[in-house]
Every structure is written in structure tokens, then in C-alpha cells.
Structure 1
Amino acid sequence: MTGWHAPDDLVTRYADGSLPETDAWSLEKHLESCGPCAARVSHAARAGAAGVVLAEVRDAVLHAVREPAPTTARTSDPAPTRLPAPARAVGGRLTRIVWAAGPALRGAWAGAVVLVAVGAVALAYGGGAAGARPLLLAVAPVVPVAGVALSYGRHADPLHEIVATSPSGGLRLLLMRTAAVLAVSLPLLTVAGLLLPPSGPHLPAAPAAATWLLPGLALTLASLVLSGYVGCRTATAVVGGGWLLALAAPVLTASVLTATGSGLTARLVQQLSLYFTGASPQAGWAAAAALCALLLAARRSAYDRLETM
């Protein structure tokens, strides 16, 4: 709140550890943007029982920095090669980005996406399945949604509570994990769709390979918006399940459905064309994605403690 500063008793209780956890979280959030209160809290911590320990830690760190590291190298040995400072900075930044990207890059999820893409191509060319492209287009929009569920939260990251409550946590961390998921899934699935042959002669033409990109982005952003209310895993389950239900229900209940596989595939192609093909559906998905992005920006504070309890 603008113009508000933490009372002295609140600062004192925070410094001695007697402040309730929820109040401590609120105060820590305030300290991120209030220098005077941060200085008061720092002074109170140094003046309390922890001050002695903090002073000892500070002295030990300064001693370790100032003292030259022991070496056993001979004077005739060549000096170790060091990378230039810009190269070290780029490498360190890249390492931090890869670590922050989470299980989307470090775990098995990326391999699962590769298996989906390769499996669709193998099904089309090795198994002779004429409906490989419609099946891939039906699943592709929920693959990023599933990736978000597997990349964010206590179940995905052992240090989630610590990372999510840091200044780099909250919506920023969630968006970074989502960007990593999209960077892995969008190119792989789009290339796989381009490699798949067109539908068989007895089937209607399937939508183009890239028509699922806007729907996939909109569904992913919708799951992020819903995460601010019900949590990440529940939100992704609702959005992903809702998409599959909206796609499968008309196919299974249509009056033109036949008992053959080709009838199912033909109806699936028609349903995908209804959702993907044309300027109106794509404009609708783009509008939905823009609306979800605005809602994310408006409710960004709701993600500060997401899945930390």
C-alpha cells in the first residue's frame, strides 16, 4: 500500500521470529519495494539474538574472500585458462535459465513429446494409418497444458516452496516454465504435423499442420489463469479435459457416426476443421489468448504464493 510503513512492533516480532507465517509473508512482500522498512528490519535483526551469528558469518565470508586461496602449482606451470568475463556471464545466465525452466527441460516430459511426434509419423508411414494427422491435431493443443502441470508445483520441484517465494518466483517463474514447455512442444509437434501425409482419399482434408498453434496457446494461457484460483494441477486437468471432451463428445454422439474406424476419423476431421479452419475460429482463439494474457497481468499478485502451502 502506498505510503504505508510497518509498525515497530511488527518489525520487532518479525526479527525475533514470533510473527505468524502469513503476516511474515505479507511483510516480506512489502520489504521488496520499501527501502526504509527493509533497513529497519535489518537493523532489528542485527540488534537481536541473531545479530551475533550474522556478524560471525559476515566475518567468515570476508575472511574467505580476502585471503588468497592456497595453491600447490609450481611457478613453471602455465597459468590456468580463464574465459573472458562476458563469456562467463553468458554461461552463468544460460545455466540459471535452464535450471529455472524446470522439468520441462530437465525431466522426462521433453522425451515424451518427442515420442508423441515420432509415434505419429511412424503410425502414418509404418502403420499406414490415414488418420494420424487428425489424431495429432486433436492431442497437440493439450500437450503444452500437460507440460505446465508437470513443470510447476511441489510435485515437480523439490525446492518449489523456496523458489516460488523468492523475488523471482510467482507469476514470473510460472511464465518461465510455460515458455520452456512451449519452446519444446510447439516446434516438435508442428514439424511432425508437416511430415504427416494428408488424409486418405475417402476422408475429408484435415486442417493444416500449424492451425493448432493458436488454440494450444489459448488453452495454455487459460490454464494459467485458472491456476490462480484452483492451483496448477487442477486447472490444467480442467482445461485439458474440457478440450478433449469438447472434441470427443460431438464425434461420439453425431448421427453420422458409423461403426468403422474411417467414420470416426472422418467425423474427427470435420470437428477439427470446425474448431481450427478459417479466419473466424482462429480470430476467436487469438481473442481468447489476448484476454487470458490480460487476466494474468491483472491478477499477477495471486501467483506470489501459488502452491506453497
Structure 2
Amino acid sequence: MSPEHASSRLIHDYTRGETGIAADELWALESHLETCGYCRDRLAKAVAVEAPGIVTLLGSVRSDLESRLDNAEPMPFRRRRWARLPTWVTPVMGPWLVMIVSLPLVALLLDVAAPGFGRVPLVLLLAPVLPLAGVATAWSRGLDPAHELVVSTPRAGLNLLLRRTTAVLALLVPTLLLSGWLTGVTVAQWLLPSLAFTTTALALGSVMDISLAAAALGSVWAVLILAPALVTNRAPLVLQPERLPVWGVLFALGAGVVLVRKDAYSLLKDPHRS
């Protein structure tokens, strides 16, 4: 597709419902059609010539709807609380976001109220994996009533996933910054591990359900790092300052995999289907 308009071949294949169109081409075409009246006119003409049955079907549906709408009573106007939210934010996520943001605050209260609880701040132990809860929430089937509709559209690829993840992190990161500052934890100690876990979850999400990937990574951290640190009352080696370059490499690798496999996010599978 050219920067100005869609090619005739792509319009032709789209009209005929060809299944061989690449996911990124399909996404680009449908995004372009939303803003380009010229290409929409070309598509309408192509449909009239190559798929007259669709035109007939649309005409009959329109006729039926018009007769029903003429006899329907108008619904009373109600201002919805979430009406102006962007389409990539789901209102059902609200309670879960509150819970996720509350966790570092609870950890902060424990660290401040009971300084002898442990030599390792609880905020530091939780911060690396808290974004995983945000990643799982951002793309959870159970928290989005329109999940099946969203993931079936070409525009529901990496762009939407990154937007939802960013929305969650925008709420969580400031809370972690405040909690870390009050407990003496440097930003680098938790930020690089957090970014590494987030990109790793997104990378695994190109081959499996993202919520499951986030849950698996969180479980590994809880068993291998969090639990031993609480039992031994010692800072994990993986969170020592000299290990930060390793976290930086993991973050870069995860981001690289996400970029290389960006097309896979347009074909996300529903884990509840065979």
C-alpha cells in the first residue's frame, strides 16, 4: 500500500475476502479506510462490481432497520461515567487497578511501621513483578466484556496492547517511585527489573496468552526470589546493584523479541478456545 492510497490489488483482495492478506497489511488498510474517503469510494465501487450479493444484503438489512427504527421509542439520554474514556481503556479494570496500585502502598506501610520486619524493603521485593499484574489486567479476557470482539479485529495488535499496558504503568510507576523514595530504594534497583519482566511477558505473549505468561513469571519470582528473601531476611543476589546490567540486557532482549514478532499480536489467540 502506498503512503497516499491503497493499491488496487489490496482493494480487490479485501473485497473478495481473500485470506492471504498479511495481518499488518490488513491492519494498515482498515486504518487507512477510516480516514480516506477516496479509498472508501473505491472499495464501495469494487464491492458493487465483484460482490453484488453484499450490496443486496446490506440494502435489505438497511430497509428492515429503517422500518424498525421509525417505530422504536427513543431511549432516555443518560450520561455515562466512562463515556469519554479512550477505547483502549476498559472500565471493568478499575477495581483491579486500584488493588494493584494499593499493593506498594501496603508494602510501604509495613516497611515504615515495622522497620525490623526485615533488612530487605518489601517494596523492593514486590516492585519488579507488580507490573506483571498490570500486563495481565491490560489484556485479560475476564476484565474486558468486549475482549473477543477486540482481539478479532486487525487493529487489536501490538499498538493496543502497548497502550493498555502503558495506561496501567502510568498509574503504578509513580506509586512505586514514592514508595521506593520513602524506603530508601533507588529507582534503578526496581525499575530495570520491572521493565525486564514487562517486556518478557509481552514477548511470551506473542506465542501464548499474555495473562498466563505474566502469571507464570510472577509465580517463578515468588517461589525462587520472594519467598527465600523473606525466610532468610537477606537481599536477593539478583537485585544487587552489580546485577543491573543483566536486567538491562533482559529488557533489551524482551523489547527486541516484541519488535521482531509484532505481527503475531494481531493474531492473539483466545486460550479458552481449542
Please state whether the residue corresponding to 1:228 is helix, strand or coil. Answer: coil
Instruction: Please give the residue correspondences for 1:1-309 in structure 2 after superposition, counting only pairs within 5 Å.
Output: 5=9, 12=16, 14=17, 24=19, 26=21, 30-33=25-28, 38=43, 42-43=47-48, 47-51=52-56, 53-54=58-59, 57=62, 95-97=84-86, 99-102=87-90, 106-131=93-118, 134-196=121-183, 208=186, 210-248=188-226, 251=228, 264-265=232-233, 267=234, 269=235, 271=236, 274-278=237-241, 280-308=242-270
- Supply the distance in 1 between the matched residues of 2:207 and 2:268 (Cα, whole angstroms): 9
Normalised by the length of structure 2, the TM-score is 0.70
Whether the 8 Å contact between 2:23 and 2:263 is mirrored in structure 1 is: no
Quote how far apart the aligned CAs of 1:220 are. Answer: 0.6
Structure 1 residue matching 2:149: 3-state secondary structure:
helix
* 1:66-99 alpha-carbon deviations (Å, 9 max, x no partner): xxxxxxxxxxxxxxxxxxxxxxxxxxxx9453x4
Question: Quick check: which has more Rg, 1 or 2?
Answer: 1
Structure 1: gaps (5+ residues): 15-22, 62-93, 199-206, 253-260
Question: Which structure has the higher relative contact order (CA within 8 Å, separation 6+)?
Answer: 2
Task: Assess, with a 3 A threshold, how the Cα gap between structure 1 residues 29 and 216 changes in structure 2: closer, same or farther.
Answer: closer
Give unmatched runs, 5+ long, in structure 2. Answer: 30-38, 67-82
Q: Give the Å deviation of 1:25.
A: 8.6
**Equivalent-residue separation in structure 1 for 2:166 and 2:11 (angstroms):** 40
Q: Indicate conservation of the 8 Å contact 1:190/1:209, yes or no.
A: yes
- Whether the 8 Å CA contact 1:109–1:150 is kept in 2: the answer is yes
Paired with 1:213 and 1:9, the residues of 2 have a C-alpha distance of 46
Distance in 2 (CA, whole Å) between partners of 1:47 and 1:172 is 34
Matched to 1:264, the amino acid is T
Q: What's the TM-score once normalised by structure 1's chain length? A: 0.63
CA-CA distance at 1:221 after TM superposition: 0.5
Aligned length: 241
Which amino acid letter does the alignment assign opposite residue 307 of structure 1? K
Secondary structure (helix, strand or coil) at the match of 2:104 reads helix
* Mapped partners of 2:14, 2:163: distance in 1: 34
- Distance in 2 separating the partners of 1:229 and 1:215: 22
Structure 1: how far apart are the matches of 2:9 and 2:106?
Answer: 59
Q: CA deviation at 1:114?
A: 3.4
